[in-house]
Amino acid sequence: MRARPGVLVSLLFALAPAPGGAQALQNATLRRAQQAYENLEYRQALSLGRSALRERLAGGERARAYELVGFSYAALDSILKSVDAFKQVVLIDPERQLDPNRVSPKAYSAFDVALRQVLLVRQLRIDSTGFVAGQGAVPIRFMVTQPARVVTRAIGQRNFLVDSSAWNGQVNLGWSPRLPNGDPVPAGTYTIVVEARLGQNTFSASQQIRVLHGTVDTLPHLTSLPGYQYLPETEIPPQTWRPLGLAFLYTGGAAIGTLGLESGSLGASSQRELAVAGAAALVTGLVMTLRKPAPRPAEGNILYNRLLTEQIARRNADIAKENVTRRQQVQLTVVPLKSGAPR
Amino acid sequence: MTGRAVVLACLGLVGIAWRPAATQRFTIGPQAVLVDYREVSSGLRYSGAGFGGLATARYRKFSAAAAVVRLTLDPTSQSTAGAGFTATQVDAWVAYDVASYASLEVGLIRRTADPEFDAQSMGAVRIGARSAYDLGLGATVSFRANYLAAPQFSGGGRAAFSLELGLGLDVRLAGRLHGVIDYAFERVNRKTDPGGTGEISAPIQQTLARVGLGIGF
């Protein structure tokens, strides 16, 4: 098959949705054919369209003329001829699409049949992407209109075979841009060429991409774990009467002991000394009872914090190890450039 | 030592006392003492006061304390005694913690009277236990019971049953400065045989309260 300037034609079609848009046409016959189609004079539109095709037309206008002929044949229920005309359209402009909401079902089905009767590689798309070399792939999407052997290559400073398989319909491939030794491909411009072959028929489409090298981002060290926070390592115990109770207990023990051990022959002893010490103990107990309790270590929280610290340290050790690896890696960024012409 | 030197020394001690210390292993400080002493019968009653000092030390589970007080005792209004006397009492304890709140202790007591025969001088070995609990931050209350073994008296005699009970309080006032209050009740069932006419009971009973300060190091 011969090469066709499909991309430019696609652009023209996109700007002037068929079958309207007669004002953009340069050729007078084609303009008249367009006008007749818009006035629902399909036979006249067909006649003028065929006349225009016999004239010298640019690629976009030729595709438009075939499209007008196809639409007119469809309107006149000549489906086979409509399919033939639409075949010419997609051969000129493989990216051509019809909007099912804007064209008649007959014309749309004729266009669809035409697509399936011509070997095309359409809608070759390569999205911008970025990944660490060896850990990702460049996504390549395209559509093959007939079952065919499809060979996909990346051509740059060196040629790489991306895939060679039999495909039909929507195809999704991934190219891992690595050299045979595992190193990333050199930075630069590469052309992804998709070539479909069915018997003697071949068709190819291409898309240029730029591969950029960069450094891989290192991971920051952690100071905390998300969702986990350090807990206070001291807690204030609830206020109790224990200090006063203990003071009573000890003072009472001393008082009972004193009274119990006093010698009967010596008479009751002076209570002055016991009063001094006992009163001091009871007052201290009362003060300690009324005072806000001193914070005490919260063993559970201390253990939890220790575990959290160890966990963060372990994670940071892993991050440090990961960063050593990342510093040796290459970040590849792939950016699609202008599309190549389909052949 | 001049008065100025004493004032400077006191100010220095106060300055040291207000400085906090992470671990205080030694304390030392002065004490004022109140005492009530009875002997033989209810007619021999003395009451008085005195002063002295206390030093303590702690190493791991071991602790030790020593106190010396100088007492001046006078007969009470109900006493038949004609004159008072002075006494010097030395106490010492060494304790081992068997639990966080309990310790076993041994020690000695020696009290000498002056004039020598106005009251019994005595000495004995202490064997006992002490229980101590924290009332709160920096405040500890303790109770002790000591058996006074192998007592010796300047007037002779023996005492099969001799006990000492004590109540102690240690409160950290500020930084290194502690307030120390200690109560001791001593009962000695002394029996003597004057002239070989048979044993008679000559008990001794003393209550003593110490109020003092301690500086931790």
Residue A270, pLDDT above cutoff 70: yes
Mean pLDDT for all residues in chain B: 86
Predicted confidence at residue B214, as pLDDT, reads 92
Average of pLDDT values for B91-101? Answer: 94
Chain centre distance of CA A39: 48
What is the spatial distance between Cα B141 and Cα B180, in angstroms, rounded to a whole number? 10
Mean pLDDT on A202-215 = 92
B150 touching A (Cβ < 8 Å): no
Q: Do B185 and A272 touch (CB under 8 A)?
A: no
Tens of pLDDT, residue by residue over A99-120, are 888 888 999 999 999 999 999 9
Q: What is the DSSP letter of B194?
A: G
Q: What is the pLDDT of residue B7?
A: 58
CA distance readout (Å), A281 to A76, A286, B113: 117, 9, 31
Q: What is the pLDDT of residue B9?
A: 60
Interface test with A, best of B45, B79, B100, B141 (most A CBs within 10 A): B141
Structure token pair of residue A280: 């001091």
Question: What's the pLDDT at A255?
Answer: 94
Q: What is the mean pLDDT of residues B183-209?
A: 88
Residue B24: pLDDT above 70?
Answer: no
Interchain CB distance below 8 Å, B136 and A288: yes
Instruction: Tell me the Ramachandran region of residue B143: left when phi exceeds 0, alpha when psi lies from -120 to 50, beta otherwise.
Output: beta
pLDDT attached to residue A3 = 38
Inspect the interface and report whether the beta carbons of B47 and A270 lie closer than 8 Å.
yes
In this prediction, residue B201 carries a pLDDT of 86
A281/B141 CB distance under 8 A: yes
B133 contacts chain A (CB < 8 A): yes
Residue A9 has pLDDT above 70, yes or no: no
Residue in the block written with tokens 């004609």:
B82
Average pLDDT over residues A164-184: 90
A334 pLDDT more than 60: yes
Report pLDDT for B157.
86
Chains A, B: CB contacts under 8 A, how many?
Answer: 116
B10's enclosing H/E stretch is helix B3-18
Q: Please indicate whether, in this complex, the C-beta atoms of A250 and B211 are within 8 angstroms of each other.
A: no
Average model confidence (pLDDT) for chain A? 87
* Average pLDDT for B111-140: 90
* Residue B137 tokens, joined: 């931050």
Give A1's pLDDT tier (boundaries 50, 70, 90): very low
Give how far Cα B168 sits from Cα of A80, B58, B59, B210, Å.
118, 17, 20, 9
Q: Looking up tokens 């100088």, which residue turns up?
A: B70
- Its ipTM equals 0.86
The mean pLDDT of B107-134, rounded to a whole number, is 91
Residue B18 scores a pLDDT above 90: no
pLDDT: which is higher, B6 or A72: A72
User: Does B110 have pLDDT greater than 90?
Assistant: yes
pLDDT tier for residue A14 given thresholds of 50, 70 and 90: very low
